[in-house]
Amino acid sequence: MLKYLLSGIVLFWSVFSQAVAYPADPYALINEAASKTFARLNQEQSGIQKNPELLRQIIRDELMPYVDNKFAAYKVIGNELKNTTPAQRDRFTLAFTDYIVATYADALAKYDQQKIQVEKPRNLGDDKLVSINVSILDPGKPNISVIFKLRQNTKTGEWKAFDMVAEGISLLSSKQSELGGMIRDKGIDAVSQMLEEHNRKPMTLPAKTS
């Protein structure tokens, strides 16, 4: 489905943040992350066909440093956060990150030279939250729009993505509904274990259609 292709373009979530200089402007951040990711995908298509696990590595290297994945993970935990220990929160954040990586890898397995176009920047003023529209350009098909939500860290001033909305569906909200309810019912340890088991499944590529 298109929303899964779009979620593959979703940029950015990471407890694996690297020591890089992030763009101070959220529009520049989206452009930078997208450019790096799609350039790497183009360069390594032959390697991906031989070893699908390379897709997950590309996502870790090129997408994940641009995302506030801890913030996203804590939003999923929600009100249960107060009932968890630091170790439990760390375990869930890592498992949740790996789960998102696997989800994006599955979506990017469908990548076939699509291009993206980021909307023109606007004056943000004092806004600390911004939604940026990105168009997915697929030759011979209607353009597809996806909205990335970013927040500015009040302490560091850095912008990072924390959610994506495709076809009217918020990825973060859907995971809050799905996993948040499970955390309340089964506990955070059980949900972390479920995610870890899911993440161990090997990466496969979809069968090519003629």
Q: Where are the domains of the chain?
A: 2-14+23-199
pLDDT attached to residue 167: 76
CATH of 2-14+23-199, one of 3.40.1080.10, 3.10.20.90, 3.40.50.1000, 3.10.450.710: 3.10.450.710
Q: CA-CA distance, 195 to 52, in Å (whole number)?
A: 20
E strand or H helix that includes residue 93: helix 86-108
Q: Encode pLDDT of 140-190 as tens digits.
A: 778 878 888 999 998 888 999 998 887 788 888 988 999 999 999 999 999
What are the residue ranges in the chain where pLDDT is below 50? 1-19, 210
Q: Where are the alpha helices (DSSP H) in 109-209?
A: 171-186, 188-199
Taking phi over 0 as left and psi of -120 to 50 as alpha, with beta for the rest, 74 belongs to alpha
**Model pTM?**
0.80
